[in-house]
Structure 1
Amino acid sequence: MIPSCLSFASLLRSLRALAVILALLPGVSLWAQEPAGEQGYVLPPITDADKILLPADFNQVDFYLVTVDVGNQVWDNFGHTALRVVDRNSNSDLVFNWGLFDPSGGYVRFAVNFLRGILPYQLGVSPPAWEFGRYEREQRSVWQDKLNLSNAQKETLYKRLAWNLREENIVYDYQYFFDNCTTRVRDYLNEALGGRLQAQNRAPSQNTFRDEVLSHYASVPLVALSLDVLMNGNIDRRMSQWEQMFLPAQLRRELLSFPSDVTRNGQRIDMLEEPTVIMEFTPPVAGPNPYYLLLAGLLLPVLLLLLMFRRTSLASFSSQPGITLRNPALSYRVMGLLGVLISLCSGIYGLIMSFGWLASAHLDLHHNLNLLLFWPSDLLGLGYGVRWLLSGRACPVSAGWRSLLIFYLLAHILAALAYLLMGLTGMGGQEVGSLLLFVLPGLLGFAIVVWNTGFQAVRRIRFS
Structure 2
Amino acid sequence: MRLHLFFLALLFFFSFSFCQSGQLSTNAEISVLTVGQGDNLNDAFGHSAFRVKDRNSGLDIVYGYGRYDFNTPNFYLKFVQGKLNYLMGKRKFSDFFELYRYYDRTIQEQKLNLSQDQKQRLYNYLINNYKPENRAYLYDFFYDNCATKLRDVTNVTSNSTITYPEISEEDKKTFRELIHEEVGHNTWGSFGIDIALGSLIDKKATKEEQLFLPKYIFESFKNVSLNEKPLVKSSNTIYKSRYGTAYKTNFFVSPIFIVSLIAILIIFITFKDNKNSKRTKWLDVLLFSISGLIGVLLLLLWFCTDHTTTGYNYNLLWAFPINLFALIQFFNKTQKKWFGGYLKFLAIMLALMSMHWIIGVQVFAIGFLPLLIALIIRYTYLIKYYKTT
TM over 0.5: same fold? yes
Distance in 1 between residues matched to 2:356 and 2:227, nearest whole Å:
50
Q: How does 1:284-299 map to 2 (within 5 A)?
A: 284-287=246-249, 288=251, 292-293=256-257, 296-299=260-263
SS of structure 2 residue aligned to 1:94: strand
Match of 1:178 among 143, 157, 177: 143
Q: Which residue of 1 aligns with 2:343?
A: 409
Match of 2:106 among 141, 166, 182: 141
Distance in 2 between residues matched to 1:349 and 1:62, nearest whole Å:
50
Q: Which residue of 1 aligns with 2:45?
A: 78
TM-score, normalized by length of structure 2? 0.79
SS of structure 1 residue aligned to 2:172: strand
Q: Is the 8 A contact 1:396 1:456 kept in 2?
A: no
TM-score, normalized by length of structure 1? 0.68
Distance 1:292-1:55 versus aligned 2 partners, 3 A rule? same
> How many residues were matched structurally?
365
Q: Is the 8 A contact 1:356 1:362 kept in 2?
A: yes
Distance in 2 between residues matched to 1:274 and 1:418, nearest whole Å:
49
1:69 CA drift (Å): 1.4
Q: Which residue of 2 aligns with 1:156?
A: 121
Structure 2 segments unaligned to the other structure (5+ residues): 1-19
Distance 1:377-1:138 versus aligned 2 partners, 3 A rule? farther
Pairing 1:308–2:276 present: no
Q: Is the 8 A contact 1:219 1:285 kept in 2?
A: no
Distance 1:452-1:324 versus aligned 2 partners, 3 A rule? farther
Q: Is the 8 A contact 1:144 1:278 kept in 2?
A: no
1:378 CA drift (Å): 3.6
Structure 1 segments unaligned to the other structure (5+ residues): 1-51, 263-267, 313-322, 326-331, 385-394, 458-464
AA aligned opposite 1:97: G
Q: Is the 8 A contact 2:75 2:84 kept in 1?
A: no
Q: Which residue of 1 aligns with 2:245?
A: 283
Q: Which residue of 1 aligns with 2:9?
A: none
Match of 1:92 among 59, 62, 65: 59
Match of 2:194 among 205, 218, 228: 228
Distance in 2 between residues matched to 1:103 and 1:116, nearest whole Å:
15
Q: Which residue of 1 aligns with 2:307?
A: 362
Distance 1:62-1:122 versus aligned 2 partners, 3 A rule? same
Deviations 1:150-209 (A, max 9, x none): 212212212221221233211001100111111111112223444443x23343652110
Distance in 2 between residues matched to 1:344 and 1:80, nearest whole Å:
39
Distance in 2 between residues matched to 1:381 and 1:104, nearest whole Å:
41
Deviations 1:55-95 (A, max 9, x none): 163x1211121111122343222111011111234322111
Q: Is the 8 A contact 1:255 1:272 kept in 2?
A: no
Identity %: 22
Q: Which residue of 2 aligns with 1:200?
A: 164
Structure whose alpha-carbon radius of gyration is higher: 1
Distance 1:220-1:304 versus aligned 2 partners, 3 A rule? closer
Q: Which residue of 1 aligns with 2:363?
A: 431
SS of structure 2 residue aligned to 1:98: strand
AA aligned opposite 2:23: P
AA aligned opposite 2:152: D
SS of structure 1 residue aligned to 2:66: strand
Deviates more, 1:403-412 or 1:59-68: 403-412
Distance 1:275-1:381 versus aligned 2 partners, 3 A rule? farther
Q: Is the 8 A contact 2:114 2:231 kept in 1?
A: no
SS of structure 2 residue aligned to 1:238: coil
Match of 2:318 among 373, 395, 399: 373
1:298 CA drift (Å): 4.4
AA aligned opposite 1:83: F
Distance 1:276-1:396 versus aligned 2 partners, 3 A rule? closer
Q: Which residue of 1 aligns with 2:278?
A: 324
1:243 CA drift (Å): 1.1
Q: How does 1:103-142 map to 2 (within 5 A)?
A: 103=70, 110=76, 112-142=77-107
Q: Is the 8 A contact 1:206 1:238 kept in 2?
A: yes
Distance in 1 between residues matched to 2:189 and 2:294, nearest whole Å:
12
Distance in 2 between residues matched to 1:397 and 1:138, nearest whole Å:
57
1:382 CA drift (Å): 8.3
SS of structure 2 residue aligned to 1:60: coil
Distance 1:382-1:221 versus aligned 2 partners, 3 A rule? farther
Distance 1:383-1:136 versus aligned 2 partners, 3 A rule? farther
1:145 CA drift (Å): 2.8
Q: Is the 8 A contact 1:94 1:128 kept in 2?
A: yes
Q: Is the 8 A contact 2:38 2:247 kept in 1?
A: no
Distance 1:277-1:148 versus aligned 2 partners, 3 A rule? same
Deviates more, 1:144-153 or 1:122-131: 144-153
Distance in 1 between residues matched to 2:226 and 2:237, nearest whole Å:
19
Distance in 2 between residues matched to 1:381 and 1:116, nearest whole Å:
28
